[in-house]
Amino acid sequence: LPAQEFSNILLDEVENGIYRLTINRPKTLNALNADTLKEMDAAIEILEADPSARVLLITGAGEKSFVAGADIEHMSHLTPIEGKAFAEQGMRIFRRLETLRIPVVALVNGYALGGGCELAMSCDFILAAENAKFGQPEVNLGITPGFGGSQRLTRLVGRAMAMELLVTGRTMSAEEAMRRGLVNHVYPQAELADEGMKLAAMIAGKSSSAIQLTKQLVQRGQDLDLDNACVMESDLFGLSFSTEDRQEGMSAFLENRKAKFS
């Protein structure tokens, strides 16, 4: 599916190598149905195939919501087997996003509930607007999280706080989410998009090979024991010495000039 045919999301290259994916169903507060997930999958495929891609920003259309969850209307018609397939679809796509070779940053501009919180947690990190709200309210619908919420929330905020949030279904403010380590920075709503672009430009100006190797280290390392994780780090450290960026980065330092990465 080419980007021009998307009807539930927007994918644009805002500047060289800086992509923005917007979940674009504002009438449902950007709820995720199967078609939206399919388009996200196609968008990730486009990014995977573009060697000039440097960073991906993900946000929601409108002023009110990032993503208010999986689409409850859609889910209300599903059998248990179909429900499982829907979870597997979301799980696979979020994992594909999480392991995309470039950094992925969520700009959470309002509600990030259920599947929305799960989407934000599948990004490398989160910038939030002051009005953002985070939570896993699935218990209120008589279901469990299905796109990785029970697992990623526990890894990000610890077991005790994750349990509290999961069993009460309560929402957290942006400020609380930052205090708990879920969110990196909170900005006034009107400044979130600009702050996201500033950060993206900073990332895009650095060594893309070093950034991609670093993402692999963090992503793969967190599921390894420390001995194997450190072996991987020395391997990729060695590999980074084979790049032109290493040549340029070190020469620039020694010559007292700013590095210009290709």
The residues binding ligand CAA (CB under 6 A) are 28-29, 31, 68-73, 90, 111, 113-115, 118, 137-138, 141, 145-147, 149
Q: Which residues contact 16 (CB under 8 A, 6 or more apart)?
A: 52, 54, 204
Are 121 and 104 a contacting pair, CB within 8 Å? no
Least separation in angstroms between residue 7's CB and ligand CAA is: 17
Q: Name which of 62 and 221 has its Cβ closer to ligand CAA.
A: 62
Distance of CA 214 to the CA centre of its chain: 16
Q: How far is the CB of 195 from ligand CAA (least distance, A)?
A: 24
Q: Which is nearer to ligand CAA, 72 or 232 (CB)?
A: 72
Q: Say whether 56 sits in a helix, a strand or coil.
A: strand
> Are residues 141 and 163 in contact, defined by beta-carbon separation less than 8 angstroms?
no
> What CA–CA distance (Å, rounded) separates 177 from 132?
9
Beta carbon of residue 34, minimum distance to ligand CAA (angstroms, whole number): 11
- For the chain, how many residues are written? 262
Taking the CB of residue 253, how many other CB atoms lie within 10 A of it?
11
Nearest to 57 by CA among 6, 4, 2, 9: 9
Q: How far is the CB of 134 from ligand CAA (least distance, A)?
A: 11
Nearer to ligand CAA, 113 or 126 (CB): 113
Please identify, using beta-carbon distances, which residue of 23 and 211 lies nearer to ligand CAA.
23
Catalytically active residues, by annotation: 118, 138
